[in-house]
Amino acid sequence: MSSPPERAAPAPSVDGPALLERAVGYTRGCLQLVAGTPLTAPTPCTRWDLLALLRHMDDSLSALTDAAEIGYVDLVPVEPLGVSGAGAPPVVERLRARACALLSAWAARCGDRDVTVSDRRLPSDLLASAGALEIAVHGWDVARACGADRPLPTGLAVDLLGVVPLLVGDADRPARFAERVDVPAGAPAGARLLAALGRRASRRTV
């Protein structure tokens, strides 16, 4: 999971765990596309091929589960996903299992206690929303790596756009996020969300 911004931010007005559940639902569908795609396929994240992206997602899901279960995230990467001769299916199954554990942990979490991330404390809803943003956009990245056009659902994209200003600032570019991309006036919410994070909905670039 990426390190959260240094600045303090207010909790979002949306229900973070509910947003997280919607993001996971979208990304589960994207993961179904991985079968038959080489794990060396390029992704919209120029530093990562498909396997590296899946490994990053695995790490993020694990960290978000820890956040819900113990209220603390260490930001130390989990043991990376291995790849056997069977290829992609075991990788995807591990991510699906991680996603189920994640949703169960957040559903069981009591109250809105803050979560400690490294040496900082963040509102629980804000961290869940940050996880939703990362999971949904990386789901889109996976679909693109698999050669599919799978737009983000409009309602999900609108709600994620609402939390972007709380999570992404000028200091985060270009290290954590690419520079914002211009989009036409009236572009769909999904395209505007991707543009805010340096992605073009129409072609495979960051």
Q: What is the pLDDT of residues 82-110, one digit of tens each?
A: 555 445 668 899 999 999 999 999 998 86
Q: Where are the beta strands (DSSP E) in the chain?
A: 72-73, 115-117, 120-122
pLDDT for res 178: 76
CA gap 62, 67 in Å, rounded: 9
79 band by pLDDT with thresholds 50, 70 and 90: low
Nearest CA among 24, 52, 44 for reference residue 131: 24
Res. 166: pLDDT tops 80: yes
Phi and psi, residue 42, nearest 5°: -70, 155
pLDDT for res 173: 67
Quickly count: other Cβ atoms within 10 Å of residue 155's Cβ.
10
Q: What is 68-106 written as a DSSP string? A: HHHSEE--PPPPPPP--TT-HHHHHHHHHHHHHHHHHHH
Quote the distance between the C-alpha of residue 93 and its chain's center. 17
The fold adopted by the segment(s) 16-149 is Four Helix Bundle (Hemerythrin (Met), subunit A) (1.20.120)
CA gap 126, 118 in Å, rounded: 15
Q: Which residue has the higher pLDDT, 1 or 200?
A: 200
Give the contacts of 12 (CB within 8 A, at least 6 positions apart): 125, 126, 129, 162, 163, 166
pLDDT for res 4: 53
Per domain, the residue ranges of the chain are 16-149
